[in-house]
Structure 1
Amino acid sequence: MDTVQEGGCACGAVRFRVGAAPRRVGMCHCMTCRRIHGSAFGVYAVFERGDVEFSGRTEAWHSSSEAWRHFCPVCGSVAFMEYPDTGEIDVPLGAFDKSGLYEPAYELWCRRREPWLPAGVRTEYDEDRPRQPDGDTS
């Protein structure tokens, strides 16, 4: 698989290019992810900020004490989540041009998971992942 991957929003006004493998890939069942995706969960590949290049204008809102969610102001698609304190960028898997690139290794906020979704498939966290002593969450 090529390390360089590209993608973008639904209308093409925002594009991105990643030049490295993700640090990790996970699913999130929190209510914010459910609502912004209009789905039962969100799935994100997590990259170092310097590994992702964006073109096009985004708008952002502070969705939690740690994160800013960026979206395309034209079509409303989720573009990425930014964590300034950790230097990470979460890119939704559905925004990549190719499918089947990355498989989630864990699930967050499983206490909000729909009961019809299978459990026990990957590492599960009732809420968020615990932070490591150095602040890293990998």
Structure 2
Amino acid sequence: MSDKIRTGGCLCGAVRYEVSGEPYIAGLCHCTKCRKLTGSAFSATANWRQDQFTMTGNVQTYDRRQFCPACGSRLFFLFDDGVEIFLGTLDDAPYDIPPHLEVWTARREPWLPHIRGVDMHEHNPPPL
């Protein structure tokens, strides 16, 4: 595993996190929920194992996704054995995490360029 450390957090700085190593999956989602969560045409996320993730500060949860209660930044989704991070919350850009897949391409904006070599799924992909 890579020793790379990435840091991130919310807009106001009340919540900070760190992930070590590389994510095991990264992708773009064009579903309605992700559009509303991000206020954009899609979300860009990556997943790390739970033991690769640490955080400080207090978060609130809505619909299983964590956000900063002070500034409202949507940060990540904690699940049993990992974390899915909204890549826009990382401190350093570019973060050099290319997408492995795109999901809900049935709702993908036609003006978006296709990313060569990325697995595309019209709806949800099969489980990992």
TM-score (norm 1): 0.84
Which amino acid counterpart does residue 108 of structure 1 have in structure 2? V
* 2:23 counterpart residue number: 22
Q: Which ranges of 4 or more aligned residues in structure 1 deviate by more than 4 Å?
A: none
Is 2:100 the counterpart of 1:105?
yes
Aligned residues: percent identity?
36
> In 2, Cα distance between the equivalents of 1:13 and 1:127?
35
> In 2, Cα distance between the equivalents of 1:70 and 1:36?
11
- 1:42-81 deviation digits (Å, cap 9, x = unpaired): 001110011110111101122xxxxx11001111111101
Which amino acid counterpart does residue 93 of structure 1 have in structure 2? L
Is 2:93 the counterpart of 1:92?
no
Which amino acid counterpart does residue 75 of structure 2 have in structure 1? A
* 2:113 counterpart residue number: 118
> Unpaired runs of 5+ in structure 1?
63-67, 132-136
Moved more, 107-116 or 117-126: 117-126
Q: How many residues align?
A: 125
> Unpaired runs of 5+ in structure 2?
none
Change (3 A) 1:34 1:2: same
* 1:49 counterpart residue number: 50
